Amino acid sequence: MLPKDTIDFWKRKRVLITGGAGFLGSHIVDILKTIGCKEIFVPRSKDYDLREQSAVKRMYEDFSPEIVIHLASVVGGIGANQKFPGKFFYDNAIMGIQVIEFARRFGVEKFVCIGTVCSYPKYTPIPFREEDLWNGYPEETNAPYGLAKKMLLVQLQAYRKEYGFKGIYLILTNLYGPRDNFDLETSHVIPALIRKFIEAKEAMEKGNPHPVVLWGTGKATREFLYVEDAAEGILIATHKYDGADPVNMGGMGEISIKDLAQMIKEMVRYKGEIIWDTSKPDGQPRRCLDSSKALKLFGWKAATPLEVGLRKTIEWYLQQRKREK
C-alpha cells in the first residue's frame, strides 16, 4: 500500500513512463490509475525510438511531463547477454543518455532512473551495499548491460552537480511476477524455470517424458523482488527521495538456483528429473542487496515472500497458457 501523502502527490502529476507497457512499467501504470493519477503517458517504441535523438525530443514536446520514470531497456538472461553484448550496451546507454539529456533541456521536475544489480562488481561482498558499486568489474556475461546502465548514474550525478537536475537512481534486484517475459530465448531465471517445468510436466502427462535441463551447477544464489513490491517502491521513492546516491531495492534474501528450481518443481508438481548442464555458466556467484537505505530514506521494504510471489506468477502463467490454446 502506498502512503496517503504519496497517493496525493501522484494525483497531481503529469508522468511519462518509458517502458510503461512492459513488465514492470505496466504494474506502475496500473497502480497510478488505481490511485487516481489522470495524466500518464506511455510512449511506444513504434512511435518513439528512444535510440533516435529526434524521437526523444518529439516525445518531450508531445507529452510535457513533470516526472519521468525511465524503465525502457533491452534485457535478457545469460544467453541473451552473451549473444548480444554490443546491442545490450549501445541500446541501453544511448536510450538513457538521450532521455536524461532532453529531460534536462525540457525542465523536467524529477527524473527516476532504474538501475540493475548487474552493475555491481562480480565479487561484491554479500549483501551488496551501494558503497561497493565501483569496487570492481561486473560479472563478464552481463557486464556490457550492467556498465551501460551504470553510466546513467554518472550522468545523473554530473547533471545534479552542474545543473541542479533532480534525478534519482534506484538499483533493483532480479524482478519476477505476473506479466514477466516467458520466452526461453530472452527470459530471466524464474519465468524460464516455470515454463520448463510446466512444459515437462505436460509432456510427461502425454507420455513423452523428458528431463528438465538447466544451466550451470545450481550453486549460484540470487535475490528476487516481486514486481508489485518494486512498482510501489519506485512510486514512493519518486515522492520521498531526492539524493545523488544510488539506493538498492532488494527482496527478502538470497536463494540458490538449485533450491529455487526445486521449489518451482514442487509447486508445478513435476515428477521428473533435473539435469544440470555444467558446461553452461552460472553467472555471478552470489547476488543479494542490502536494502536498508531504502527503508531509512523513504520507508520502503519488500513485502511479498518468495513462495507467495511464485505461486501468483505460476497461476498467472497457467491462465495465459489456457488463453493461448
Q: Please list the active-site residues.
A: 145
Query: Is-contact 197 254, C-beta < 8 A?
Result: no
Are 16 and 59 in contact by the 8 Å Cβ rule? The answer is yes
Q: How far apart are CA 182 and CA 201, in angstroms?
A: 16
Residue found by looking up cell 497502480 in the block: 31
35-68: burial string, b at 16+ Cβ within 10 Å, e else: bebebbbbbeeeebebbeeeebbebbeebebebb
The DSSP code for 18 is E
C-alpha to C-alpha distance for 101 and 155, rounded to whole angstroms: 9
Residue with cell 502427462: 205
CA 302 vs CA 122, 239, 289: distances in Å: 24, 18, 12
End-to-end CA distance of the chain: 35
Give the residue from 51, 49, 37 showing the smallest Cα distance to 98.
Answer: 51
CA torsion 44→50→53→57, rounded to 10°?
Answer: 40
CA distance 129 to 246: 10
Helices (H) and strands (E) in the chain, counts: 11, 11
- Grid cell, residue 321, equals 497458457
